[in-house]
Amino acid sequence: MPQEPQNAKDQFTYDAIVIGSGISGGWAAKELCEQGLKTLVLERGRDVQHIKDYPTATMDPWEFKHRGAMTKAFLDENPLISRAAGYGEDDAHFFVKDKDHPYIQEKPFDWIRGYQVGGKSLTWGRACQRWSKFEFENPARFGYGIEWPIGYDDVAPWYSHVEKFIGVCGNKDGIEAMPDGEFLPPFDMNAVQEHISNKIKENYPDRHLVHARWAHITKPEQIHIDQGRVKCMARNLCMRGCPFGGYFSSVSSTLPWAKKTGNLTIRPFSVVHSIIYDEKLGKATGVKVIDTNTKAEFVYKARIIFMNASALNTNLILLNSKSERFPNGLGNDNGLLGKYIAFQNYRASVTADMDGFLDRYYFGRNPTELILANYRNLHKQETDYKGGFTTFMGAYRNRGPKETGEGEVGGAYKDSLTEPGGWSAYMYLQGETIPKVSNHVRLSPDKKDQWGIPLLITSVEYDENDERMIQDFLTQTAAMFEKAGCTNIQKHENKQAPGLDIHEMGGVRMGKDPKTSLLNQWNQLHLCKNVFVTDGACMATTGNQSPSILYMALTARAATYAVGEFKKGNL
Ligand SMILES: Cc1cc2nc3c(=O)[nH]c(=O)nc-3n(C[C@H](O)[C@H](O)[C@H](O)COP(=O)(O)OP(=O)(O)OC[C@H]3O[C@@H](n4cnc5c(N)ncnc54)[C@H](O)[C@@H]3O)c2cc1C
């Protein structure tokens, strides 16, 4: 860590600054450092070191004070964050606490955050499908989004670059709606998954339920061993941090790799307040930072700034970067900064039972799910809603209690727990949503956080299009389960607020036209070229694939471009 500056006038100079150390920030750090730039990563949370800071990684259920559950007092104090998928006693330390990081929900919005080195890369679900050309092209083609300034072919080599480094398992399935990548061997399907996949294929030739594409190392290659990562042990305890480095996080992979170059400085406990713009130079010169412990303010300078604080925090920082030239936030002449926030539709699922297959089991705890690639609105607009959806699928054996007939007490119940029961299966929705100008974030004019930074106001909601997609998903998915011979098919609609999908995007969207977008095809602010936004804030539309691997690919692409421009003296 650099020597602490004594006051705000003291300044540290780097070639590049990266704001945020999560999934996208880790990639910015890796590429910038590897390509020779002295890089400072500013992270608002505490430091987290691979293995050493995974305190629960090897604990058994009975070693937890509350067997993995949270106390009522804790849940009462943290009603919001404790709703996050997979949140529990074993991983709560990788999520924020509600009262420490307030924001204002003009409409219900569950903003799920992990403030530490590694960000949400420690706890993410690891699903890693590529966008197809349909996702880049169809929003403009079918009139529900602006034209992307790039297409699939621009990103494809960067997807490959990222996949090879992080390790993504999967099968090459040749599906138009979900292009193949550089895959390590897939996890096996279990007997019921395979059966349902085959039945879907038989009944719906255009629907493909295929192996997971997940950021897990199933067979390490040299590049993974060089990172100190080995094969995934299928423990399915990923959200605690993996001592094997079996799944990708920036803590196990990109940040230590960047560190090895000797070009990386990480400064935890450093919340970025704003970006400093120099009107004479016509570019950003650095960032204003507040030490989260001491509340001291200082300035770090650099020729390039990468914004990777995660979508809404990047919006917040830019909105808060006010100057005479940009009174409404950096690069915000068109007034669109903070607007067109979108997310993914996670409101529906279908569950079912499957008779038979009682002589079949599975080995290990597969940490992945099958993926049913989008089959809606690909070549033409064919439904009463816009956009498409991915479906995730799992099948598992229950324990025996259903068969004891004595309820969940007594010796027979206890014995039955050691026996596998019948099979159940589920599928759930991950749907595209339409970016709308009304779905936005803005700064509170008067309320501030403990560091004096304005609170973010979220004004984001689901719409009619989402409702119609949910109905179609429920009908189609139930029909697929029926055709596969399932019983007890149940449709569920969870009514959750946006945000809980944890796939919030937009607000600083890419586009061809500076009148309707904030970023160009290299993720540079149109009006301040040395500031690059490569986290989810840059997304012009949401697509239906899990988005994080696209943020990584866009980051690697933009960072390589930035280094080129830096070396030519253009930045
Ligand atoms: C339970 C769960 C399951 C998920 N499943 C999937 C999945 O299967 N597939 C998928 O694609 N995505 C998934 N996601 C989403 C994924 O985690 C995010 O898309 C991804 O982490 C975003 O990367 P990022 O770099 O933008 O942000 P993050 O990884 O959140 O990193 C942002 C970092 O910036 C720091 N920061 C914020 N503000 C400031 C500031 N002002 N100054 C300094 N630092 C700051 C934060 O502390 C954080 O460390 C999941 C997330 C969760 C929590």
The one-character DSSP state at 11 is E
Cα–ligand 1 centroid distance for 106 (angstroms): 22
Local structure of 319: helix, strand or coil: helix
- For residue 29, CA distances in Å to 55, 250, 556 come to 26, 10, 9
Residue 100: CB within 6 Å of ligand 1? Answer: no
pLDDT at 41: 98
Bridging pattern class, strands 524-525 and 528-533 = antiparallel
> Look-up: residue for tokens 């960032």?
287
Backbone angles phi, psi at 341, to 5 degrees: -70, 135
Instruction: Report the distance separating Cα 474 and Cα 413, nearest Å.
Output: 34
Residues 6+ apart with CB under 8 A from 63: none
Measured in Å, residue 119 CA sits from the centre of ligand 1 at: 5
**Is residue 23 within 6 Å of ligand 1 at its C-beta?**
yes
Contact 508, 310 (CB under 8 A): no
Q: So what's the pLDDT on residue 7?
A: 47
Predicted pLDDT of residue 8: 45
Distance CA 265, CA 117 (A): 12
**What is the whole-number distance in angstroms between the Cα of residue 206 and the centre of ligand 1?**
33
Distances (CA, A) of 361 to 188, 357, 432: 12, 8, 35
535 lines ligand 1 (CB under 6 A): yes
For residue 18 and ligand 1, the question of a CB distance below 6 A is answered with no
For 562, residues 6+ apart whose C-beta sits below 8 A from its C-beta are 16, 32, 304, 306, 522, 532, 571
Question: Which ligand 1 atom is the nearest neighbour of the CA of 546?
Answer: 11
| Largest separation between any pair of C-alpha atoms in the chain | 79
Long-range contacts formed by 72-80: CB under 8 A, 24+ apart: 80/110, 80/111
Which residues of the chain are under the pLDDT cut of 70?
A: 1-11, 400-407
- To the nearest 5 percent, what fractions of the chain are helix, strand and coil? 25, 25, 50
Q: CA 517 to CA 539: how far, in whole Å?
A: 10
pLDDT at position 402, please?
A: 56
Q: Pairing state of beta strands 283-291 and 270-278?
A: antiparallel
Ligand 1 pocket member 310 (CB < 6 A):
yes
Return the SS3 of 98: helix
Q: How far away, in angstroms, is 120 Cα from ligand 1 center?
A: 4
pTM for the model: 0.97
Amino acid (one-letter) located at 254? T
Give the number of the atom of ligand 1 that is nearest the alpha carbon of residue 316: 41
Asked if residue 44 has its Cβ within 6 Å of ligand 1, the reply is yes
| Ligand 1 pocket member 112 (CB < 6 A) | yes
Q: Quick check: CB of 320 below 6 Å from ligand 1?
A: no
Residues with Cβ within 8 Å of 178's Cβ and at least 6 positions away in sequence, in order, are 129, 130, 132, 208, 210, 213, 371, 373, 374, 390, 545
The closest alpha carbon to 393, from 413, 372, 367, 363, belongs to 372
pLDDT of residue 417: 82
Q: What separation in Å is there between the alpha carbon of 362 and the centre of ligand 1?
A: 32
Atom of ligand 1 nearest to the CA of 550: 11
CB of 302 closer than 8 Å to CB of 83? no
The CB of 20 under 6 Å from ligand 1? The reply is yes
Q: Round to whole Å and give the CA distance between 31 and 253.
A: 12
Q: Which atom of ligand 1 is nearest to the CA of 314?
A: 38
pLDDT score of 11: 57
| Model pLDDT, residue 150 | 98
Q: Does residue 306 have its Cβ closer than 6 Å to ligand 1? A: no
User: Of 549, 432, 523, 521, which Cα lies nearest the Cα of 154?
Assistant: 521
Cα separation, 466 vs 529, in Å, equals: 36
Nearest alpha carbon, ligand 1 atom 47: 115
CA distance linking residue 344 with residue 465, whole number of Å = 12
